[in-house]
Amino acid sequence: MEPYLADRDRTRSVLERHGFFIKKGYGQNFLVDPAVPRGILEAARIGQEDTVFEIGPGIGTLTQYLGSRARRVIALELDRKLAPLLAETLAPWPNIQLIWGDVLKQDLPALFRELAIEGPVKVAANLPYYITTPILMRLFEHQTLFSGITVMVQKEVGERMAAGPGSKDYGALSLSVQYYADPRLAFEVPPAAFIPQPRVSSAVVSLTERSRPAPELRDRAWTFSLIRAAFMQRRKMLSNALTAGAPGILKREQVAAALSEMGLDPAIRGERLSLEQFAELSNKLWAETHPAPGDRCE
Ligand code: SAM
């Protein structure tokens, strides 16, 4: 059976027939333009042998396309009120398995074991925008389970994910995403592609395994706390931003000296540093602020 739901009238009719009220609080915006699910299939390079994990199937629009192309689809949805709709719209695809739950609470490795999923899985989803970053961080936490992540996000968020040093969109989100993956903006999607129309434009982003290994970090949490501090006051010199962001721990001169040792201008702003440079700087500052017991002067 061909996917049929990415259509304004059919979507309205399914919603009305089931008396379903759309919940804005769950980020429910349903696709009604068939070009978008087709574009997601291409961007995610979904093939006949793939197992796909979809977060938030909604009424099953993208799910129908995934089910038509992939070997197996696991779709995880929070809103149980969608059960009767999904029972109808996904019935023609026996290769789609619906799981009820909250993606932020689900133990994904346990779920995949329970479902006897073999080999890495591709993620394809039109994400609920209110929890985009926590979902991505959750997926990255379990990176080994996935061989690619293709998601629709708010356009502005997609641009921040893909931005490089010196650009206005570059920030903590760019660095945390790029530590785990190589992001690529696949295509933009206008508000008119959804019911109800969101106020913002959207973009499909594909995240693939980094082509170069991620830099080694002495302490990942420490590095990312410095990155957040650097961009909290992005117009400030990095040495001032880090001193203000980690009060009492770092001294301005210490940061400036570490930057000079790295061959960088001590007056540089954080927005000019690459991920590798943030890694090197934070590793140096970590070693200075966390001396080994034997290093301590009595
Ligand atoms: N995939 C559908 C489409 O493209 O038309 C709907 C996407 S809609 C933007 C996001 C979906 O995520 C909704 O169905 C919503 O109920 C679901 N959702 C929201 N929060 C969730 C969570 N924490 N875990 C799983 N699904 C969630």
| Same domain? 49 vs 153 | yes
The domain boundary residue, chosen from 209, 238, 254: 209
Indicate the number of domains in the chain: 2
Residue 70, pLDDT score: 97
Residue 290, pLDDT score: 82
Residue 255 burial by Cβ neighbours in a 10 Å radius (0-12, 13-18, 19+):
buried
Residue 298, pLDDT score: 40
> What atom of ligand 1 comes closest to residue 57's alpha carbon?
1
- Give the type of residue at 13: S
| Same domain? 121 vs 256 | no
> What atom of ligand 1 comes closest to residue 30's alpha carbon?
5
Q: Which residue's alpha carbon is nearest to atom 12 within ligand 1?
A: 56
| Same domain? 240 vs 202 | no
Residue matched to tokens 């960088």? 264
Give per-residue pLDDT as tens, 8-42.
Answer: 999 999 999 999 999 999 999 999 999 999 999 99
Kindly give the distance from the C-alpha atom of residue 32 to the centroid of ligand 1, in angstroms, as a whole number: 15
| Same domain? 81 vs 179 | yes
Say how many Å lie between the first and final Cα of the chain, rounded: 76
φ, ψ dihedrals at 41, nearest 5°? -60, -40
Ligand 1 pocket, residues with Cβ under 6 angstroms:
26-31, 55-58, 61-62, 76-79, 102-104, 126, 128, 131
Residues of the chain scoring pLDDT < 70: 247, 293-298
How far is it, in rounded angstroms, from Cα 283 to Cα 202?
A: 36
> What atom of ligand 1 comes closest to residue 125's alpha carbon?
1
Q: Which residue's alpha carbon is nearest to atom 11 within ligand 1?
A: 56
Model confidence, pTM: 0.94
214 found inside a domain: no
Residue 289, pLDDT score: 86
Q: Which of 126, 197, 202 to mutate to test the pocket of ligand 1 (most atoms within 8 A of CB)?
A: 126
239 found inside a domain: yes
Cα 118 versus chain centre, distance: 23
| Same domain? 152 vs 269 | no
Residue 119, pLDDT score: 82
Other Cβ atoms less than 10 A from the Cβ of 223: the count is 23
Kindly give the distance from the C-alpha atom of residue 184 to the centroid of ligand 1, in angstroms, as a whole number: 22
How far is it, in rounded angstroms, from Cα 102 to Cα 143?
A: 18
| Same domain? 126 vs 273 | no
The domain boundary residue, chosen from 209, 231, 248: 209
Show the domain range for 127.
8-209
Q: Which of 28, 36, 107, 139 to mutate to test the pocket of ligand 1 (most atoms within 8 A of CB)?
A: 28
Identify whether the C-beta of residue 33 lies closer than 8 Å to the C-beta of residue 193. Answer: yes
Residue 90, pLDDT score: 98
